[in-house]
Chain A
């Protein structure tokens, strides 16, 4: 684990919690993700004790991770982003934070869609983002979801600020399933590393959710555009990834 922000996913159902954790882990393997679900009796519901236990374990793991890191960089900006699925999960997390107010320094509850928020937060955390950035990523997923229902993906702005280089190329999706969850996560993580602003068919390529929302499957031609100092390199890298078929061809 290298990410300094971990996720705890709280659901009424242990299977749902673990399933979403598994999905997010696949897209962000460096992030510690724990799914917690089920009531005190093991049925559907939420257990305060189980949430407290998971938070304690995750915080301990993060602290151990930081202790073993000579740079000690995890001490600031690290922590846990918690997502809950419905009513009592969210209420229980809030109650946990009220019972032990010292937790609120390092634990935040994201008001975000459970699946989309978890995936977005995980991918952002994978890139080493701090607690605030991961929380924002989770929260932003709700706007993303609303926007994709209401409109087509936004058109890329034609204007770019003067002086910055820009680059664009088109590439055809080769793998049958296209930019589904895993490839979308690979692309968005790579884009975050590249240090350039990259769009694919007009959507922010650093957002795993926006890439997935493109629904780009085999045969679709995508326009990859970038601005910034390393624009050409960024475009070449992304085109190469898509053209490579993500190991699925």
Chain B
């Protein structure tokens, strides 16, 4: 099955739930090496996204007229407007660039990889960060590489997302020994080692939600449910 706008919406709603569940953990990670607002900020942002999706759902659009990019664009502008910290424009740019390459009702495995690549490119260019600097770029980069490999092997959309989500999770854990050289944590220098980067962890949650949304399938009975 190709991934459509309903999948994108389920992805976003699941992300909101995952972020809400992990809010305390993310905030604690950020308190150790940042300013302690990552969980709160993202939770506020994704709750606002869900509220806007609910508004949109009140005036349904025919499925073939809504693109994956429409959903991602809504996420982008809402996160930019509501998050407040650096993760707002960073995630916002990721979703914005992803929206630009997904303006279609359905996306196939290569297009899923393109979405991941666009998101990585957005985060890296906005944050002026590269791999190995203990940032969310580490998780996005690993996801793109794994997703590309899965698509190259002829994998399905689910295979691509599974590979991406697992790689992002591993990469997030892999930020623990790193010394931060970008972002707020870089002010700590060597003391940033031994802590997981909260942005890499939230990226793993986002991509885990993308996989779960693809596995859960459509939920026509309650399109506005948390799925």
Contact = CB atoms under 8 A, between A and B. Distances in A.
Q: Which of B80, B88, B184 has the most CB of A within 10 A?
A: B80
B84 A41 contact: yes
B219 interface: no
A11 interface: no
Given A88-B89, A95-B92, A46 B84 contact: yes
B31 interface: no
Interface of B is mostly: helix
Interface in A88-115: 88, 91-92, 94-95, 98-99
B81 A91 contact: no
Contact of A40 (B84, B86, B126): B84
Contacts of A98: 93, 96
B152 interface: no
Size class of B's contact patch? 20 to 34
A40 B81 contact: yes
Contacts of B41: 45
The A contact surface, by secondary structure, is helix
B96 A91 contact: no
Contacts of A43: 84
A71 B86 CA distance: 43
A87 interface: yes
Interface in B67-126: 77, 80-86, 88-90, 92-93, 96, 126
B127 interface: yes
A49 B184 CA distance: 24
A88 B93 CA distance: 12
A48 interface: yes
B66 interface: no
A153 interface: no
A87 B93 contact: no
Interface string B188-227: 0000000000000000000000000000000000000000
Given A94-B126, A98-B96, A40 B82 contact: yes
Most B-side CB within 10 Å, residue of A41, A46, A98: A98
Given A95-B92, A99-B77, A88 B127 contact: no
A46 B92 CA distance: 13
B88, B96, B127 interface centre (most CB from chain A within 10 Å): B88
A96 to B, nearest CB: 8
A47 interface: yes
Given A98-B96, A99-B96, A92 B184 contact: no
Given A98-B96, A99-B80, 11 more contacts: A39-B84, A40-B81, A40-B84, A43-B84, A45-B41, A46-B85, A87-B86, A91-B86, A91-B90, A91-B127, A95-B92
